[in-house]
Amino acid sequence: MHAVTRRRPVRRLALAALCVLVLVAVSAIAGEERAAAADPGGCAPYVAGTVIPVPCSSGSESAASTGAAGPGTSVSGACSIVPLDQAQAQSLGLSWPPPSGEAWALLDCLGGAIGPGPQAVLVSTAPNAPQVTPAQLLIQALQELRVPALPPATAPPVGADGLVGLPEWFWIPAASWHSLTVTVTAGPVWATVTATPSALSFDPGTGAGAVTCPGPGTAYDPAVPAATQRTGCSYTYAQPSADLVGDSYPASVTVVWQVAWTGSGGAGGVLAPALSVPVSIPIRVAQAEALVTGA
């Protein structure tokens, strides 16, 4: 169990940019507080002298790594607040006495169904005031959020040969292109974090720049003549992939997400304006051959 003080948000996300998003959230909510990486083997930012461990990952997500909250889903849960006495607080390594007007308590959200389990927080003891803040509940919401790696579709399909000089289409199926939301409440106080896909890009694996387009792209319809279809999300290979490792280009499709939050009392803001989640795909490209027939 880790001690977490008010106005110091933490999140868990299985993403390459996990640490960046956590530090953005800390900066946006804690104002003048600064965070810096303390653990070279992972992510453990220091916030005003308090170490907050944050597991992080690196590299591209796999298509199967979608996490608990998938596209188009909404997760919600309620938290209880359990006061801690001096002996209990000190047994957890918490400073005593707590600051004036505050007390130590355990914030327990569905026994760990939202977030990793009970978290020690400072709560308000002021009469008629909410015990917790939206920022504290944001911690729990971020720990439950799972931004998925969205598997792309391509034409020709992955595994089939494309042709030199003909465009390779890429897009995200419409059924996957949805926001996902986590809401956490404690009495009248609430916080909601939302991740929304906004754009995608295709890295062809040739060393050339990525092709970027807004939205999920346009699906290719094999029942419609190719000459009548148009897309802004395509790339045309100039060389075959036969001499490359695996006989394919190491391409990838990256979905860009915006992560934002809102809370009771007008709290909220943007945590990550452009959180990138890549998925690697091999693209095979063959040399087109002309067919010559004799008279």
In a domain, 1, yes or no: no
In a domain, 258, yes or no: yes
Confidence band for 240, pLDDT divided at 50, 70 and 90:
very high
Q: What pLDDT sits at residue 76?
A: 82
- What is the pLDDT averaged over residues 77-92? 88
- Residue 192 buriedness (CB in 10 A; 0-12 / 13-18 / 19+): buried
In a domain, 119, yes or no: yes
- Portion of the chain with pLDDT greater than 70, in percent: 71
Amino acid letter, 268: G
Q: Quick check: 90 pLDDT over 70? A: yes
In a domain, 10, yes or no: no
- What range defines the domain where residue 65 resides? 18-286
In a domain, 278, yes or no: yes
One-character DSSP codes across the chain: --B--TT-------STTHHHHHHHHHHHHHTT--EEE--TTSB-EEETTEE--B----SPPPTT---SS-TT-EEEEEEEEEE--HHHHHHTT--SSPPTTEEEEEEEEGGGTSSSS-EEEEEE-STTS-SS-HHHHHHHHHHH-----PPPEEESPTTS-EETTSEEEEE--GGG---EEEEEEETTEEEEEEEEEEEEEEE-SSSSPPEEEETT-----TTS-GGG---SSEEE-SS-STTSGGGSEEEEEEEEEEEEEEEGGG-EEEEEEEEEEEEEEEE-EE---------
Show Cβ contacts of residue 117 under 8 Å, excluding neighbours closer than 6 positions.
1, 108, 111
Cα 23 to the center of its chain, rounded Å? 14
In a domain, 13, yes or no: no
Q: Quick check: 224 pLDDT over 80? A: yes
Confidence band for 231, pLDDT divided at 50, 70 and 90:
very high
- Portion of the chain with pLDDT greater than 90, in percent: 37
| The model's pTM | 0.72
Distance from the first to the final alpha carbon of the chain: 82
- What is the pLDDT averaged over residues 140-167? 88
pLDDT in tens, 163-186: 999 999 999 999 899 998 989 999
In a domain, 291, yes or no: no
Candidate from 5-14, 217-226, 250-259, 277-286 with smallest mean pLDDT: 5-14
The number of folded domains in the chain is 1
CA Rg value for the chain: 24
pLDDT in tens, 243-291: 899 899 999 999 999 989 999 999 888 888 888 889 999 999 998 764 4
In a domain, 48, yes or no: yes
